Structure formats: structure tokens, C-alpha cells
């Protein structure tokens, strides 16, 4: 079998546990793991994985991921150290690097009196993950403010327009692609009273904290909302609140959340997702589709 050539070891490390880098706090090790701090380093990582024929996974804040207990093969690239932002006040535009946390960006914009990003304050992901997932809350979403996205692909850097991103509810054409989001330019509305924008931002956060469990590791909403009822409503009506497999539990406070109540295994969470799907299918004749990305191998998949 071909053994990968040893990469630049200051940049790419072998066998790194992914559990600390996911909001569920579960999952095994990546065969190879890198945290590039520059675009050149990011490009080196993608070239090395391609030249060795290794699969590549990009990790933002890991807040929408369930990584299997067996970990991930190939190279995992974390964007967490790519955090620059460039404001163009006169244009109402800001260009933000992929690893920038959405809550910090939302607060920063509010302090400057820029409107249009208050909704993102409680989403614990990065700009890159938000772009890929079309993250949204409180009636706002990424698609509303994206002007363009710089991606790194097999042929180098490209600038993608919203048309090419093909946004709809929690999806974009970047999902399941081999492109890495490098940065994105957002169009927002400067010139408002910072106090007022900050108050709207705080209000969004308060409303989430009163209805969603933030005290235990989770991935936020596990399932996409079908219509006409929300996934949470269907799960609650099916009597599944509090249902537990191992230390993975359907949250009492919000039935579309699954919590890691201690040392849950990724497999427990996976089994609970399947159990909820099967109960909902039996009772309501509809299949709930996970919003969370399940990566790696699971028994019964």
C-alpha cells in the first residue's frame, strides 16, 4: 500500500483527536490534521492531500458535525486561525476570513453600528461553515448578505457569486464539494446607532438562550425542519423528549437538540438520530433529514 510522504511536520500533524474541535465533544482522531495560519499554508495542505490521494475534510468550529468514534481518514484542515476582516465603510462591505467566529463578527458589526448581521450572534460556527451551511436564525441567513465568496479549489482560487452558491434552506452548492472557503465579502447596512444594533443583537441572543439548551454539548438543531410542522414539534409530540441512548439524550428544553450528557459516544448520538427518525417515520409517515453532517464510519449506516 502507498504510504503518504511525510508532510511539513510543523504544519501537518499525525493522529490528532477531533473531539475537542467539535461542539458535541465526541469523535476519534484524524489521520492527519492541520491548522494553517496563512493562505499559502492552506494551499500547501490541499496540494499535499491531493498529491497523496488523501481525502480532505474542512473543519470550521465543528458545530454542525458528528465525527465517528473511529475518526476520519485523510487530512482534516481546521480554519480556526484564519481570522482577518477588512471593512469598507463607504461601500457597507466587509471581507471576512473563513475561521472568524460568527458571534464575534456579529458583535463587532453591532459595535460599529452596522445592521443586518444581528441574527448570527448565537450561532457558534465560523464564517466558512456558515457560508457552506447557509446558516440562519431569527428570519436572517447567510444568503441574505453574501456578495461573493473566495474559494480554493483544484485549479486555485476562484470567486463565487451567490448564483453559483445556489443557496436554499441550510444548503449551498459548496456542500459535499472539494472547495475550501477562504473568505467572503458581505454586504450590510452601516450608519445605524451602535447602541440600538447592540440591543437588537443582545435581544436575539436572549431569545435563543431562553428556548435552547446551551449548557451541554450539542450541534444545535439535529434535523432540518419539514413543513408544515417543525422537527422539534414532531419529536416532542412523539413523546421523545428525554429519550436517551448511552449518554446521548433528546433535550427536554428543545426536542430538535440532542445533548451529550457526559461521555456519550458518537455512535450513541448516531443511534439516537436513527431511533428518532424511525419513530417519526412510523408515527407521521415522513422522514426527518439530518442537518448535522455525519462524518466517518458508523455501525448501521
Ligand X SMILES: Cc1cc2nc3c(=O)[nH]c(=O)nc-3n(C[C@H](O)[C@H](O)[C@H](O)COP(=O)(O)OP(=O)(O)OC[C@H]3O[C@@H](n4cnc5c(N)ncnc54)[C@H](O)[C@@H]3O)c2cc1C
DSSP per-residue codes, 57-124: EEESS-TTEEE-TT-EEEEEEE-TT---EEEEGGGTEEEEETT-BHHHHHHHHHHHT-BS-GGGGG--
By CB under 6 A, tell whether 248 contacts ligand X. Answer: no
By CB under 6 A, tell whether 16 contacts ligand X. Answer: no
By CB under 6 A, tell whether 143 contacts ligand X. Answer: no
Alpha-carbon 262 to chain mean position: 22
Cα–Cα dist 190/92, whole Å: 6
Site string for ligand X, 74-93 (x = CB under 6 A): -----x--------------
Question: Annotated catalytic sites, by residue?
Answer: 170, 221, 291
Question: Any residues with CB less than 8 A from the CB of 141 and at least 6 apart, and which?
Answer: 119, 134, 135, 167
Which residue(s) pair with 77 in the sheet?
Answer: 34, 58
Cβ at position 82, least distance to ligand X in Å: 8
By CB under 6 A, tell whether 121 contacts ligand X. Answer: no
Residue from 130, 232, 290, 296 binding ligand X (CB under 6 A): 130
Geometric angle at alpha carbon 107, from 26 and 293, rounded to 5°: 30
Residue from 220, 232, 290, 296 binding ligand X (CB under 6 A): 220
Sole window of 5-13, 42-50, 130-138, 160-168 interacting with ligand X (rule: CB under 6 A):
130-138
By CB under 6 A, tell whether 136 contacts ligand X. Answer: yes
- In the bound state with ligand X, the residue whose beta carbon lies nearer, of 123 and 165, is 123
Determine contact, residues 73/53, Cβ cutoff 8 Å.
no
Site of interaction with ligand X (CB under 6 A): 23, 57-65, 79, 98, 123-126, 128-130, 132-133, 135-137, 174, 180-181, 214, 218-220, 293
Amino acid at each position: 500500500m502507498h504510504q503518504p510522504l511525510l508532510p511539513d511536520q510543523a504544519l501537518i500533524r499525525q493522529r490528532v483527536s477531533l473531539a475537542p474541535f467539535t461542539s458535541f465533544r465526541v469523535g476519534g482522531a484524524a489521520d492527519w490534521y492541520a491548522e494553517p495560519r496563512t493562505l499559502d499554508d492552506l494551499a500547501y495542505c490541499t496540494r499535499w492531500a491531493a498529491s497523496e490521494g488523501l481525502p480532505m475534510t474542512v473543519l470550521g468550529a465543528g458545530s454542525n458535525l458528528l465525527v465517528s468514534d473511529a475518526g476520519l481518514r485523510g487530512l482534516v484542515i481546521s480554519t480556526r486561525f484564519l481570522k482577518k476582516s477588512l471593512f469598507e465603510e463607504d461601500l457597507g462591505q466587509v471581507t471576512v476570513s473563513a475561521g472568524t467566529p460568527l458571534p464575534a463578527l456579529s458583535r463587532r458589526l453591532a459595535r460599529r453600528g452596522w445592521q443586518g448581521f444581528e441574527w448570527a450572534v448565537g450561532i457558534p460556527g465560523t464564517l466558512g461553515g456558515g457560508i457552506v451551511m447557509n446558516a440562519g436564525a431569527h428570519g436572517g441567513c447567510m444568503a441574505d448578505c453574501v456578495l461573493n465568496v473566495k474559494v480554493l479549489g483544484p485549479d486555485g482560487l476562484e470567486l463565487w457569486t451567490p448564483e453559483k452558491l445556489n443557496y436554499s434552506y441550510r444548503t449551498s452548492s459548496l456542500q459535499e464539494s472539494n472547495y475550501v472557503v477562504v473568505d467572503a465579502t458581505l454586504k450590510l447596512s452601516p450608519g445605524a446607532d451602535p447602541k440600538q444594533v447592540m440591543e437588537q443583537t443582545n435581544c436575539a441572543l436572549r431569545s435563543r438562550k431562553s428556548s435552547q439548551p446551551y449548557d451541554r454539548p450539542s450541534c444545535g438543531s439535529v434535523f432540518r425542519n419539514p413543513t408544515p410542522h417543525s422537527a422539534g414539534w414532531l419529536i416532542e409530540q412523539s413523546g421523545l423528549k428525554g429519550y436517551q441512548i448511552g449518554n446521548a439524550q433528546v433535550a427536554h428544553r428543545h426536542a430538535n437538540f440532542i445533548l451529550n450528557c457526559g461521555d456519550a459516544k458518537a455512535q450513541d448520538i448516531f443511534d439516537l438520530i436513527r431511533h428518532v427518525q424511525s419513530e417519526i417515520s412510523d408515527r407521521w409517515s415522513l422522514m426527518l433529514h439530518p442537518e448535522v453532517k455525519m462524518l466517518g464510519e458508523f455501525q448501521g449506516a
